[in-house]
Amino acid sequence: MTEILNATRRLPFEMLELQQFSNLVAANQRSGLDTRASGTMGDERTVIEMLQDGVMILWCREMLGIDVVFVKLDGGKGFFGGQKSLFATYIGSEVHDDFSPGPTFKMWGMALTSINNIYRGHGFLKGAVK
């Protein structure tokens, strides 16, 4: 995790992005998937610090045996001067502090829903999440 933090220029997550993350976790749990926010995010102060640092960790340990790290990256300035962002993913194990780079997304919604594609690929999910 230290290498990820040292090698990336991050932006803080916004409240809307946090709400969408919470909605995904709740919807996946209703569908019987083991998606959970990281235990290190259990302490409210730690959650706030991680979000302000542009990092979210999602556990998918029981079914998939992985943790997914979402990092909100500084994508530079747009044509009219607005802040752009990218969302990088890293897949691995928080316990062993061993992560490999995953895909990078331009939209937060696409980054979040990519998790369900992994479940679908392993046969745990069929159809839409409720």
Q: What is the pLDDT of residues 55-79, one digit of tens each?
A: 988 888 888 889 999 999 999 999 9
**What pLDDT is stored for residue 72 in this prediction?**
95
Residue pair 115/68 in contact (Cβ under 8 Å)? The answer is yes
For the chain, the structural domain boundaries read 2-121
To the nearest 10°, report the CA torsion of 76, 104, 59, 119: 150
**What pLDDT is stored for residue 43 in this prediction?**
54
Question: Above 60 in pLDDT, residue 41?
Answer: no
Residue pair 10/74 in contact (Cβ under 8 Å)? The answer is yes
Give 81 or 128, the one with higher predicted confidence.
81
Question: Tokens standing for 9?
Answer: 């220029």
Residue pair 97/103 in contact (Cβ under 8 Å)? The answer is no
**What pLDDT is stored for residue 11 in this prediction?**
94
Sheet architecture: strand order including 83-93: 36-37, 55-60, 66-77, 83-93, 98-105
**What pLDDT is stored for residue 97 in this prediction?**
78
**What pLDDT is stored for residue 52 in this prediction?**
86
**What pLDDT is stored for residue 108 in this prediction?**
94
**What pLDDT is stored for residue 5 in this prediction?**
83
Distance in angstroms (rounded) separating the CA atoms of residues 118 and 125: 9
Residue pair 70/111 in contact (Cβ under 8 Å)? The answer is yes
Question: Above 70 in pLDDT, residue 16?
Answer: yes
Per-residue model confidence as pLDDT tens digits over 65-123:
899 999 999 999 999 999 999 999 999 987 777 899 999 999 999 999 899 888 988 88
Residue pair 84/75 in contact (Cβ under 8 Å)? The answer is yes
